[in-house]
Structure formats: C-alpha cells, structure tokens
Amino acid sequence: MPLLEVNNLEVCFGLRQGSVTALRDISFQLERGERLGIVGESGAGKSVLGFSIINLISRPGFINKGEVLFEGKNLAALKNKEMRTIRGNRIAMIFQDPMMTLNPVLTIGDQMVECLRAHRKISKQDARVISLQKLKQVYIPSPDTRLDQYPHELSGGMRQRIVIAIGLLLDPDLIIADEPTTALDVTIQAEIMELMVELCERNNVALILITHDLGVVSEVTQRTIVMYAGRVIEEGPTKEIINDAQHPYTQGLINALPQMALPGQRLNQIRGTMPGLNDLPSGCAFSPRCDYVLPACHEAIPALTKSGGCNVACHLVTEQNNLSEVNE
C-alpha cells in the first residue's frame, strides 16, 4: 500500500461571484520515503493541494470530490479531532507563510514546547532540550537566545527555519513543505535541503516539496508533478522532466530560467498569463499561451496520458506518439 494516495481530488471555493474550482481531478501516489516535487505557475493550486491533503481547507474552500488515502484511511472524511492527531504527529506541514505556524505573542521556545507536549507526555525541560536540538539542526545561530525571542525579532529566513524545526519536532512520516527555502540564501538552503534529504532517507520519511525553484527540485526530489490552472499537466521522474520536458508549459518554464538568457537581455517569458480560475478557456487551459496549438486543443481537455517515462496532458504529445506508433 502506498503511504499516500490521492484520487480524483476536486477542491472548490464558494465566492460571492460564484464558486471556483481550484483543483480538478488530481490523482497521484507517494510511497514511503519517496520525495516528490510539485512545481507550477503561481496560483496553479500547489498550496491548496498541500492544505487539502491534511484537510486544512476551510471555508469558503471545500473538498468537492475525491479522496486522500493516508495508509488507506481517507483523510478527507475524518473528523476534526482524529485529523488533529494525524496532523503534526504523522504528517507535518511547513507552510509558505511562516506566520501561519508561528504565534506572534508567544516566544519560539514556548511554542515548540507546547507543540511537543500536546502530542507527547514529556516534561517541560525535556521538551526544551529537544527544541534546542532541532533549532541546531536547522543552523539557527545562538539557539538558546532564540528560544526566548518572539517571531517579529527574527529575520525572514530565521522564521522559516524555525517553522522547519517545528515541522521536524515530532518525527513525522510525511512532510509537506510549501516553499520551505524560498526566503533563504543558497548556502543555508543547500544545508537545509541536504538535512531534509538525509532525514527522509534515514527515517524513511516521505516528502512533498512544493517549490518553484527547479534547481532545488532537481537536487532533492525523485519524482515531479507540474501543475497548471488546477490540474496536473505533466508527471514523472524528475530527471526526465528537467532534461526532456514534453509539455509546452513545462518547456516554457525551464526556458524562462535566467540561466537560459544572456545577462542583461530580456528573459524568455511565456507570453500571456494564466487565466483566472473562473474564466478558463475551453479545451486545454494552456492553449491561449501555447505556440503549438492544434484544433483539438480548443475542443477537449487533454487527458493525462503515458508518454515515455512520464504522464503528459497535451494533445500535441498524444498526437506525436500516435504518429510514431503508426510509423513503426
């Protein structure tokens, strides 16, 4: 049994202007100890997916369809109380906004101790020792002093490292990390990513890493999901996706990296912007921006189809595969 299995997940937001669908038909599996990257356009639904897995979508958002099986148990149907014991204890989430985890009126130490004691029967002193040790693991300088400081007294990057340390407190089986190193400089980012990989390997912990840093994805994860406008549009081994992207959006993403343009020259941006969730075009959501559109692209939503070692949702790719099959 896979550790996590997401089947046909659909998440909506009920807004004044009517309801919008933020995630459509998302399915994937994650094995124990596996490291999965999720990349994609800003607003594509990556964070919403992270929240949905741990059933933290709150009004006006709701899970409309589908299931999230964690060791076979459907988290989407769990009562709040049961969910709370799984969250934190078995699944840790590191949020994109560190202040979602940190309470501004409590010191770092108090928050960590409280979190530990909510899930385990240990003394305050022991909890403090563990907290200190986790802060050291994420390279917080003078951790003793930091324990007695408030979140606003720390730099952006330190807050994020504290959030990571809190995520690691309870030795979870699955870590969902939403842009965990976005605010960090590369030397610390490298150290923390190495630490996370090491922790995952040593304790067989699975990791879902949401990030837009393709460099980090390629160094940390084994498999990658690319999202666009609420859907999975490409999925497969990270190496294949980075070196040989098939979907025109994924190709555009890699081509937009600063390394792909000469210094001082304009970067290769993908023309246009991602459509709003409530005015998606018919057919492929990427079609208004795509250089390769076929008539079929305006008519039907391309299904995720096997192509090479990956699954790709693109009419062009399907058509090319059909052609080469005929030729053989």
Ligand X SMILES: Nc1ncnc2c1ncn2[C@@H]1O[C@H](COP(=O)(O)OP(=O)(O)OP(=O)(O)O)[C@@H](O)[C@H]1O
Which of 192, 162, 175, 171 minimizes the C-alpha distance to 102?
162
26 close to 66: Cβ distance less than 8 angstroms:
yes
Q: Is residue 62 a contact point for ligand X (CB under 6 A)?
A: no
Annotate 100-127 with DSSP letters as a single string. GTS-TTS-HHHHHHHHHHHHS---HHHH
Residues 6+ apart with CB under 8 A from 153: none
Sole residue written with tokens 């305006």: 298
Q: Is residue 107 a contact point for other proteins (CB under 8 A)?
A: no
Residue of 286, 304, 307, 311 interacting with ligand SF4 (CB under 6 A):
286
Q: Is residue 290 a contact point for ligand SF4 (CB under 6 A)?
A: yes
Rounded CA-CA distance 29/209 in Å is 14
> From the CB of residue 125, how many other CB atoms can be counted at a distance below 10 Å?
9
Through-space distance between the first and last CA atoms of the chain, rounded to whole angstroms: 37
Which one of the spans 32-40, 146-154, 170-178, 281-289 is the region binding ligand SF4 (CB under 6 A)? 281-289
Which one of the spans 65-73, 76-84, 123-131, 286-294 is the region binding ligand SF4 (CB under 6 A)? 286-294
Comparing CB distances to other proteins, the nearer of 9 and 116 is 9
Q: Is residue 188 a contact point for other proteins (CB under 8 A)?
A: yes
Residue of 187, 295, 324, 325 interacting with other proteins (CB under 8 A):
187
Both tokens of 182, joined, read 């976005």
Q: What are 178's strand-pairing partners? A: 210
Q: Which does 248 bind (CB under 5 to 8 A by kind): ligand SF4, other proteins, ligand X, none?
A: ligand SF4
Q: Is residue 77 a contact point for other proteins (CB under 8 A)?
A: no
Q: Which does 207 bind (CB under 5 to 8 A by kind): ligand SF4, other proteins, Mg ion, none?
A: none
Sole residue written with tokens 């299995």: 5
Comparing CB distances to other proteins, the nearer of 85 and 278 is 278
46 close to 180: Cβ distance less than 8 angstroms:
no
Q: Is residue 91 a contact point for ligand X (CB under 6 A)?
A: no
Rounded CA-CA distance 237/244 in Å is 10
Q: Which residues sit at the interface with ligand X, rule CB under 6 A?
A: 13, 15, 22, 42-48, 60-61, 96, 152-158, 183, 212, 277
**Residues lying near other proteins in the complex (CB under 8 A):** 13, 15, 17, 39-44, 46-47, 96-97, 99, 139-142, 145, 149, 153-158, 161, 179, 182-190, 212-216, 218-219, 242-243, 252-254, 256-259, 261, 263-264, 266-270, 273, 276, 279
